Structure 1
C-alpha cells in the first residue's frame, strides 16, 4: 500500500516536476539540499504513510500541518484532492527554490514573547512558535550569528540550521506573485476531517485553502504550538501520533500538551527499522500499545502527521504534517551521514537527537529549540 500510494503521487507529480519522485527516493544520494526536490519527496512519504494507516483502519479525527506539512494535511483531511495537493507542493517548492541564499534560520529555546524583544531592531523575524519554550527565527546570516553568540553566552539553547533559506520571512516576499499566479483557480473542498491551521493557530474550513492561503503558509510564522492546543481543546484529541521517517516533533508536542487541562498521549509512527515506543508527558497516561508498524523507504528526518492510535479507541485523535528543524548529526548503523535536506534542515539517515552546545549543525528536533514541520 505504501509503495502504491507513493507511485500514484509520483505519477501525478511527474507533469509538474519533469522528474520521478519514486526514482529519487530510491536514489542512494537524493538531492535533498534542493528544496524543490526535498518538498515533493517529503510529501510523497507522508501520503504513503497516511494511506498505509488508512488501509489498517486508522483515520484522523482532525489534522494539522507545519509549514510544508500543511499540504499533506490538507490532502489527508480531504480539503485538497491528489491533483490539487500535488500542484501545491510542486509550485511551492519551485517558487521557494528561487530564494536560496536569501538568509538563514535558527532554533532558539526561549518563549516567543522574549524572543520578540531580542530581535527588535534586527534583520530577523519569528518564523515559528513550536511550544511554550521553542521558536524558530529567520533572517540575515550575520544577525543570526551575532544573536547566537549572545544567547550561548547566557546558556540559552541556540542552533543555526544548516539551511540556505530564510523560510517564513521577508525573504519570501519576491515569490508572492509567482506562487499566487501558479495556484490561481485552486478549488479546495470542505473535507471530511477538521483542519487546524498552523497559519492562524485555529480551525479553518477546508474551502479557504486557496492560493492566498498557501502564500500565507510560505510567508507567515508557523503557529504549531497554538495549533496543537486547538487540536486538544477544540477537537478533544486525546491521542496525537507523529508520522514520518523519524520522530522529530514529540518534544514540542509533550511540552505543548503539558499546558492543557486534559490527558494527551503522544505517539510516533514512522517507517523505521525500530518501532518508536509511545511516550506520555506530565499527567498523561501511557499508551498500552503503539499500534501498527508501518514500513517504507527511509528518508530524511522530517515529520509526516498524526493519526488515530488503536490503543486508545474512543478518544479523540489527530493527524499532522510538518518539515523539521533542530537535532544532531550522527549515523544510523551501516549508513553514511547522508545529505542535508533543504526542506527540513536535516540529514537523511541521521538518528534523532540534539546537542545543546552546538552552534551549527544539521537541523533536527531540538527538545528546547527549533521549528518542526509537516
Structure 2
C-alpha cells in the first residue's frame, strides 16, 4: 500500500456498521493522518475510541468535508443522497454503504475480489454493494471465470443485524419474552422474528419480488459486468444475530465437477472452503461471525441438469457484507492512487 497518509471521515460513526468500520481501520492499520468521525446532531459530542484514544464525534453538515480526502459513509440512503455530493464537491472521494448510488451509472459498484478495475473510472462516489450480493459474487466470480455462469438461483437466510441495532434488540427481547410466556413485542418486522422465518426483506415490488431480492438480481449483473447472467432470488430473514447464509444453485456453460469447483474456490481470494460432508464439516453463521472471509461448503453437482452446481455460502454481513468491503475499496483506491475527484460538480 502507498505510504501516503490521508484525512479520513467515517459518516455514521456511532452506528453498528460505522463502529465496525472504525474497528477494521484499526485492525488493518489504515494509513491516515487524521480521523474525523461524523454523525447526526443527536450523536455529535459523543466520543469514539481509536487505538486507545478518544475522538469526539462531529455533527455531519454540508461543509463537513473541507480538507477530507476520503469518506466512508454508513448512515442510510437519504443521508448519502444529501451529503455525498457535497463531499465530492469538496474534493473528497466517497465510499458509500447505502443503496442510494448502487445503480447510478456514474458510480462503480465494487467488490475488490471481483471487479477492482471498475474503480479506475470513478467520478467521486463508489458504491458498496448489498451485503447478500457481496458474499454471493465473491463465490461466483472464480467459477464464472472458469466456466461462465448462465443462471443463478439463490435463497438467502439473513441475520437480523442486516436491519440494524433495533432488530438485534427486538430478537433478543422476543426470545426473553417468549421464554417467560409473554406475548412478543413486534415493532421492527411485520411479524415476530423469534423462532420464526420471514420470507420478506424490504418492501414488495410490482413484480412481487422484494426490493432485497431485486437488489441481488440487478447488482450481480452490474458487478459481474455480464447482462447475460440470469439471477432469481428469494430472501428470508431468520432469527440469527450475525451472519448471512445462502443456498446457491448455478448453471454454467462448461461442465465443472464438484472436485474442480472446490479446487477453484480454494485458490480464490477472500474465500475459505469449508467442505467435508463425511466429517459434517460445512460453514454456518457462527462459523463466519467476526471473520473476514466468505465461507463456502456443501459443494455438489446438481444431478437434474448437465452443468449445475449447488453451494452453501456464509459470511459475516456486518464485516465482509458492509464495513470490511468498504475499507478494502478504500485500500485499493489508495494503492492505485485513485483518491482524486475528477469533476467536483459531477453529482451536484
Report the TM range for the smaller structure's normalisation: under 0.3
Q: TM-score, normalised by structure 2?
A: 0.28
More strand by share: 2
Q: TM-score, normalised by structure 1?
A: 0.26
Q: Which has the higher contact order (CA 8 A, sep 6+)?
A: 1
Larger Rg: 2
